[in-house]
């Protein structure tokens, strides 16, 4: 919970997506994220951001690279671009638009 929701860096990452983290149970937090995103593909976004937070943590532990929001923004954009290519075709345009709007 701390790594993905409670630490300041994670909260800043979610805030980059205009998501406010609340002190709720994990399932309620997930539902709140989905509501705040208000897109037909919220899990793609949630999973990619979680993966990026995990990778930033690994970079700190194994490479000594401190986490930065600017690198997180770039990592998220790159990872989400790959996800768009693998997503169902009806989502491609709306996912690209969402990415352009937020990044």
Do the beta carbons of residue 21 and residue 5 sit within 8 Å? yes
Digit-coded pLDDT (tens) for 7-63: 899 999 999 999 988 877 888 988 999 999 999 999 999 999 999 999 999 999 999
Question: Which two tokens mark 48?
Answer: 């990619």
Digit-coded pLDDT (tens) for 83-96: 999 988 888 999 99
How far CA 81 is from CA of 34, 97, 100, 103, in Å, comes to 20, 11, 10, 11
Closest CA to 103 of 61, 66, 63, 69: 69
The number of helices, as runs of H, and strands, as runs of E, in the chain is 5, 0
pTM: 0.89
Do the beta carbons of residue 1 and residue 7 sit within 8 Å? no
């Amino acid at each position: 919970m701390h790594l993905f929701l409670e630490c300041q860096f994670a909260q800043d990452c979610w805030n980059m997506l205009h998501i406010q983290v609340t002190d709720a149970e994990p399932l309620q937090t997930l539902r709140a994220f989905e509501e705040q995103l208000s897109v037909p593909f919220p899990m793609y976004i949630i999973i990619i951001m979680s993966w990026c937070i995990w990778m930033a943590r690994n970079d700190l532990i194994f490479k000594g690279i401190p986490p930065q929001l600017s690198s997180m923004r770039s990592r998220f954009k790159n990872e989400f671009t790959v996800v768009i290519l693998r997503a169902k075709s009806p989502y491609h345009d709306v996912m690209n638009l969402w990415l352009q709007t937020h990044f």
